Structure 1
Amino acid sequence: MRGTVLAGRLVVVLALMFTAGVRAQSLATETVQAGAGANTYSAEGVVEAVRSSVIGAELAGRVTALLVKAGDRVHAGQVLARIDERIANQQALASQSQVAAAQAQLSAAQADFERRQKLYEQKFLSKAALDRAESDYKSAAAQAKAQIAQATAAGVQTGLHILTAPYNGVVAETQIELGDMVMPGKPLLTVYDPSVMRVTVNLPQSQLANLKSAAATVEIPGAKNPTLSIAAGNVIALPTADPVSHMVQVRIALPASTDNPSPGMFARALLPTQGPAATSRITVPAKAVITRSELTAVYVVDGTGHASLRQVRPGRRQGERIEILAGLEAGEKVALDPLAAAKQR
């Protein structure tokens, strides 16, 4: 009886081994190998506007006109919004009235001083009385200057209620709506210049010494020109590093164009380095990679022929192969036919 049981178990084990062997043989795979890539370092970053301005309120008031919206192209000096200026206008009128009153007092003080000066010359007035008249005249002159300066400031404030574009650009965002109450310092609109853009990436300080002056390649998926070759003079590494991450910011200026990508878009920079290869790249056939919504994955086949789905982070595509930045290690096997691998799971 015991021999019969052992024989049965042996048959089951052999059957499982045979089945696994058949599955492994029927599923086409490729062993992942780490190959030395070109002397480049791949860094991910974002597109930024070199010239971007946040336009804020300098005076309190209610928004009476909002003439632009996000995405509108504007030219330098174009009116973007208006803030209620009635209070400022009244203050300007009050200041002008005070200037008129101060000038009248100045005229009276000047006439009195000149009259007393003549009396003093004729010996009909004391020196102390003349000094008081002169003091009153100078005081009135100073008061008139102060009122004129205050009126000028009030006139400038009336112009601050009109918000204009500082340069030709695009409205990136509007943080206000018609009728909102704004206070000094509150951001109201954001404008950027689309003709001057750059890509900013972070480079480890260990790779900074290997960075050499040469043309770089920038990849911006979704842009009209997804791949750009950048001259060496447009690649600048900042002289300071982040004290926490120890990363150095590298700025890559994009060619001047009105069709440049939008700020905030994802970008990848391939920076040439000198010395040893910056990375050992892992690539897999493009047909082995599947994409579902935001998921990018491959089927990894183990020693028994069992295929399991694993998420990976893809890099750039090189012909019929795709670089894998994370998720796979050298020596693992990937299924070349994801559909067939899915059926054998």
Structure 2
Amino acid sequence: MTRVVTVIGMALLGLVVLVGCGSDIEPGRTLGEASKVQGLTVATAEASLLAGAEMFVGTVESSARGMITSRIDGRVKRIGVSEGQSVAQGALLVTIEDNVAGDRLAEAEGAQQAAEARASLANKTFERYQNLFSQQAVTPQEMDRVSAELEMARQQLRSAEASVSAARTAASYSRVVAPYAGRVVRKEVREGSTVMPGTPLVVLDRAGKLQVRAEIGDAWASKIQTGQSLSVELPALEKRLAAKVAEVLPASDPRSRSFQIVLDLPEDAEIRAGLYARVYVGQPEVPTVLVPRSALVQRGQLYGVFVVDEQNTLRYRLVRPGRVHDDKIELLAGLSPGMRYVTAGVDQAVNGAVLED
């Protein structure tokens, strides 16, 4: 009996507590009322027909890249360019300090002066003997000897002049100049480095046409032709360009099951060799959803948009972005046609908030 009374007492006490708590909540209000936002721009997602594409990785490169090397022994005295710098034809790239070439030039010039003196003396001697021979004052044998000496002196002079020319050319190799106008890609040496003939000094890209070289899956081997236009994206510059196929390499790599293609890029001062590129090979048009870039919200490594449900409540929804099309982004998953989403003012949007008109 005592146990029954105790249970009834506890039940009555709980009822009293509930009645007391309920009296604190004003009529017409609930706990945890949702916040409200306004001033957001909302649009309805629509399906757009875009050409689907398979993406392949490529690299921007010059149509002509050259390795400038040293032709003499010596020490790098000065490097006159920096990486990425544009240079004109004949511009000084590297100066090599070379005492050997200078000494050889001085020696060759001295030998030339001596040969010139001998040739001058032999010519004068020949003229004198020629006058004496006309007067029959010297024998034919003596005249032949003087003629031979003159010819030998002339040969020695020509040889000395050739040596001077070669020495001057070798000495000029201490000044390494650009063989053509272009852009410096990379410096292979530093000031003070010792170099020998054949040592790489500077990598130089020829100015003008840039290209993209890409590895394409061999399933496309029969579908890509020279002159065909493909879409090329440069993520670093946020640019998408049309490029024509300039070359299709016939050999396929059996390990990667791919082959190479080369595309000519249009002229653009911002594009430089070495940039990462994406090459898209087209497929039939497929429906896709495009949203403005302003609608995309990044949180860490994830992307999402704020959708508006039937109760006008904002919900943060994860999406998977795809290709960039000018000021819009393709969404591969997460947003379906017909769904309402926030296009502007996402910085004010809060998950679970009610959107007011």
TM-score exceeds 0.5: yes
Q: How far apart, in 2, do the equivalents of 1:244 and 1:146 lie? A: 58
What is the TM-score with the length of structure 1 in the denominator?
Answer: 0.63
Match of 1:44 among 48, 57, 69: 57
1:302 paired residue number? none
Q: Deviations over 1:265-305 (max 9, x none)?
A: 321212348xxx7xx9xx9xxx9x99859xxxxxxxxxxxx
Name whichever structure is richer in strand by fraction.
2
Residue equivalent to 1:191: 204
CA pair 145-243 structure 1, distance change in 2 beyond 3 A: farther
Instruction: Say if 1:110 and 1:207 are closer, same or farther in 2 by CA, change over 3 A.
Output: same
Which of residues 102, 125, 136 is equivalent to 1:89? 102
**Greater Rg by CA:** 2
Counterpart position of 1:320: 331
- 1:112 alignment partner AA: T
CA distance in 2, matches of 1:166, 1:175: 17
What SS class does the counterpart of residue 319 from structure 1 fall into?
strand
1:195–1:259: 8 Å Cα contact kept in structure 2?
no
Q: Relative to structure 1, is the Cα distance of residues 291 and 142 closer, same or farther in structure 2, using a 3 angstrom cutoff?
A: farther
Structure 1 residue 270 and structure 2 residue 280: aligned?
Answer: yes
| 2:193 corresponding residue in structure 1 | 180
TM-superposed deviation, 1:141: 0.6
Equivalent residues, number: 257
User: 2:270 matched to which residue of 1?
Assistant: 259
The whole-number CA distance in structure 1 between the counterparts of 2:131 and 2:262 is 76
> Which position in structure 2 is the counterpart of 1:220?
234
Distance change (3 Å), C-alpha of 1:203 and 1:68? same
Partner of 1:222, secondary structure, is: helix
Higher alpha-carbon deviation: 96-105 or 196-205: 196-205
RMSD: 3.6
Candidates 114, 117, 120, aligned match of 1:101:
114
1:223-238 equivalent positions in 2, closer than 5 A: 223=237, 225-230=238-243, 234-238=244-248
1:219 alignment partner AA? E
Instruction: Tell me the CA shift for residue 165 of structure 1.
Output: 2.9
Check 1:72–1:121 CA distance in 2 against 1; reply closer, same or farther (3 A cut): same
Whole-angstrom distance in 2 between the partners of 1:105 and 1:49? 55
Q: Deviations over 1:170-198 (max 9, x none)?
A: 32221212211111110111222464311
Distance 1:207 1:120 in 2: 89
The amino acid of 2:75's aligned partner reads R
Unmatched runs of 5 consecutive residues or more in structure 2: 1-49, 290-295, 303-320, 334-357
The Cα shift of 1:321 comes to 0.7
Consecutive unaligned residues of structure 1, counting only runs of 5 or more, are: 1-36, 294-313, 323-345
Offset, 1:110: 1.6
Paired residue for 2:21?
none
Which digits, 9 at most, give the CA deviation of each residue in 1:20-70, with x for residues without a partner?
xxxxxxxxxxxxxxxxx9575533221112232222111111111123332
Q: CA deviation at 1:105?
A: 0.8
Residue of structure 1 aligned with 2:126, choices 103, 106, 113: 113
Whole-angstrom CA distance in 1 between matches of 2:125 and 2:259: 73
Instruction: State percent identity of aligned pairs.
Output: 24
